């Protein structure tokens, strides 16, 4: 059979037109508008605009509170990515064992990913709320202390990290399980015959063969920790206490929709976008070189 060919040069573009229209209207145009608004000072509801150039970016660079927000974002993102990937790989290794009822265990491990960040936030809010939360009750019952998870800055950061890791755990486990089931067992057997112990087989063989999947999950988890964490923070802490969990995406939302600083928020959006792009490029330059697509 011969491959199908388009009879006219315009026909492929006609088929692509609906997708291109959606991309232009809902992606490219908003991005261009965001970059444009970042150089303006915008009055309430956009009734008046004033070109200020890079003044919004200069003000952000000189604002200690915003610099603290950037630091909080990086700390939470690093914790979510590192803890999330490490825990997911460990659980995936256990779930990959050939035991009775393995399918049920895997389904139970994966289902948290089906929840939205807001629903996951509500679950953790009910669990860790002071006074009536299940976790607070148990710590009070067994240890005689009741921790204020939502009122203590350090505990609030820890709570956001735990909730975010739990929410994305199923996503990471699915991909790691798929990668583990495609690992060449003959390579592992050869390493075992050569005298490699369990840790050496995991680190030198299994983890090396998982490097493409780890690299992919590293990029997706970075994006998740910078953007999708918004719903979790909005439900749990709303950026508090004392701005301890006020990450960049949430600070941007407050400036845009609570304080109506549209130009200021647009500048923050550009900075967040560039920061994620820079981190992704660094990952491609460093981790990408150690990715093995063979074997």
- How does pLDDT run across 234-274, given as a tens digit for each residue? 999 999 888 999 999 999 999 888 888 888 899 999 999 99
pLDDT bucket at 2, cuts 50 / 70 / 90: low
Closest among 255, 288, 283 to 269, alpha carbons compared = 255
CB 250 within 8 A of CB 208: no
Tens-place pLDDT, residues 7-55:
667 887 888 899 999 999 998 999 899 999 899 888 776 667 888 889 9
Mean local confidence (pLDDT), 216-233: 91
In this predicted structure, the answer to whether residue 123 has a pLDDT above a threshold of 80 is yes
Tens-place pLDDT, residues 51-94:
888 999 999 999 999 999 999 999 999 999 999 999 999 998 88
Q: What is the pLDDT of residue 258?
A: 87
Distance of alpha carbon 44 from alpha carbon 66, whole angstroms: 22
DSSP state of 287: G
- For 4, half-sphere exposure in the C-beta direction (CA atoms, 13 angstrom radius) is 4
Distance of alpha carbon 99 from alpha carbon 107, whole angstroms: 14
Tens-place pLDDT, residues 131-153:
778 888 888 888 778 788 888 99
Q: What is the pLDDT of residue 252?
A: 92
Q: What is the pLDDT of residue 55?
A: 92
Distance of alpha carbon 109 from alpha carbon 99, whole angstroms: 15
- Alpha helix locations (H) across 181-258? 185-193, 198-200, 207-209, 211-223, 230-236, 248-257
The more confidently predicted of residues 195 and 226 is: 226
* Structural domains of the chain ordered from first start: 55-290 (1.10.3720.10)
pLDDT bucket at 294, cuts 50 / 70 / 90: low
What is the chain's alpha carbon radius of gyration, rounded to the nearest angstrom?
24
Enclosing H/E stretch for 24: none
Closest among 11, 131, 61, 27 to 275, alpha carbons compared = 61
Mean local confidence (pLDDT), 184-208: 79
Distance of alpha carbon 172 from alpha carbon 219, whole angstroms: 12
Q: What is the pLDDT of residue 49?
A: 81
CB 57 within 8 A of CB 38: yes
Cβ neighbors of 227 (< 8 A, separation 6 or more) are: 249, 276
E-strand stretches of the chain: 40-42, 49-51
How far is the CA of 16 from the CAs of 29, 31, 49, 53, 287, in angstroms?
A: 18, 21, 36, 37, 35
Distance of alpha carbon 250 from alpha carbon 265, whole angstroms: 10
CB 186 within 8 A of CB 104: no
Residue 63 neighbours by CB distance under 10 Å = 12
Q: Is 41 helix (H, G, I), strand (E, B) or coil?
A: strand
In this predicted structure, the answer to whether residue 157 has a pLDDT above a threshold of 60 is yes
CB 226 within 8 A of CB 73: yes
Distance of alpha carbon 263 from alpha carbon 43, whole angstroms: 9
Q: What is the pLDDT of residue 288?
A: 62
Q: What is the pLDDT of residue 142?
A: 83
């Amino acid at each position: 059979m011969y491959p199908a060919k388009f009879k006219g040069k315009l026909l492929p573009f006609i088929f692509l037109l609906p997708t291109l229209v959606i991309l232009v209207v809902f992606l490219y145009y908003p991005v261009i508008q965001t970059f444009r608004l970042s150089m303006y000072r915008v009055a309430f509801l956009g009734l008046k605009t004033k070109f200020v150039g890079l003044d919004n970016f200069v003000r952000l660079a000189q604002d200690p509170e915003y610099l603290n927000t950037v630091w909080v974002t990086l700390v939470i993102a690093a914790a979510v990515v590192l803890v999330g990937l490490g825990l997911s790989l460990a659980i995936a290794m256990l779930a990959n064992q050939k035991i009775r009822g393995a399918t049920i265990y895997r389904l139970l491990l994966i289902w948290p990913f089906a929840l939205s960040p807001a629903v996951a936030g509500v679950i953790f809010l009910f669990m860790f709320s002071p006074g009536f939360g299940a976790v607070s009750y148990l710590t009070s019952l067994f240890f005689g202390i009741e921790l204020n998870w939502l009122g203590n800055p350090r505990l609030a950061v820890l709570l956001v990290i735990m909730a975010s890791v739990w929410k994305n755990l199923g996503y990471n486990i699915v991909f790691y399980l798929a990668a583990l089931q495609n690992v060449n067992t003959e390579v592992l057997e050869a390493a075992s015959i050569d005298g490699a112990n369990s840790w050496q087989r995991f680190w030198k063989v299994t983890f090396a063969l998982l490097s493409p999947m780890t690299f992919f999950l590293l990029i997706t988890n970075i994006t998740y920790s910078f953007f999708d964490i918004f719903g979790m923070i909005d439900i749990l802490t709303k950026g508090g206490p004392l701005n301890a969990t006020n990450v960049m995406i949430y600070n941007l939302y407050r400036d845009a929709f609570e304080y109506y600083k549209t130009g200021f928020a647009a500048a923050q959006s550009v900075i967040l976008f560039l920061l994620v792009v820079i981190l992704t490029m660094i990952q491609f330059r460093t981790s990408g070189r150690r990715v093995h697509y063979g074997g």
